[in-house]
Structure 1
Amino acid sequence: MKYTTAPHVAKKLIKRIKLKKSKEYKSVKSSLSIDAESWGDAYTHKDEYVAKMNFDPLFLFQRYGSEAKRILGLLAQDTDLSGFVSLDPPVLAAEIAHAVRQEMAVSLGDIVFRRTGMGSAARPKPESLRAAADVLTSELGWDEQTKDKEIQEVLARYSPLEGIGDA
């Protein structure tokens, strides 16, 4: 669980515990789901995001909680950040810019392994790593050598796993 969503989830969990004690318990899973209306204006304009940028911002609210508003703000300021650097899982360039500007991310490994879900299930595609590194290059002023080094460091973390699961 990310720190940005933890307070919201904790408050809902406490409510659920209180309801359980009063015999009005409902499914914890349903009580912890994102209630889009609770995010106010940012989510009520979702149709605009769908029309302009071809995605529903609900995944941002699910992933970042109240911090999603900041990411949507970045998208409003700079449409160059509206592109996806990864589709599986979906990761916007704006998420990477947000991680650098608000969460002090300074490496590609930090983005891949901690700030996004890019590296959680499998090694990201090379084009996704390069696209993420391009955003970091823009945000942090990297040169090509630094960008290539960062990509190689991420790929090296997967090398012990090569061959596992091959038929």
Structure 2
Amino acid sequence: MVKREEQQRRRKQAAELMRESGVVFQEREIERIEVADFGLSDLATEGAQIFSLFDTKRLAARVIVLFPYQTEPEHWHQSVGKIEGKEETFRVISGKLLLYTEGEDTLKEGRIPEKSREYYTCRHEQVLYPGDTVTLEPGRKHWFQAAEVPTVFYSMSTTAVDACDPFTNPNIRRVTQVVD
């Protein structure tokens, strides 16, 4: 649950960071920036600001903004009906992105959210800087967070059915409830 006042504040902060990073968008599009708390009501720790550039039947592109040590929880992109799980490519625009996937435990820089520790099983750390690009195949479990500075990056993918993505944490709700 996110208070409307916080939602508006986070949208404005995300828009400012996107502009500073060179992302071009129209003023009226600020209202389209999704402020996602994943139903955990702890936006500063587990959340993301997501701006959908486009979402067609075959392709999707988003700009994701994370504030320092803000984390998008562990999840993966599975097939939904006839739609194959999405292949996703991240490209960092500004800041420092910490990406975690399954594999050898190399976690050094990241901070696993304490109250959700048991739901972060991926510990293979990749540190990405502006211009770095990583592609994840469908079904690969992952999570990411900004390091000590705000981070802005692109998420480009095949068909996105994000509302159907499974999360390791069974308490996650993909649609954020906004209250006054």
When normalised by structure 1's length, the TM-score is 0.30
Higher helix share: 1
Higher strand share: 2
Q: Which has the higher contact order (CA 8 A, sep 6+)?
A: 2
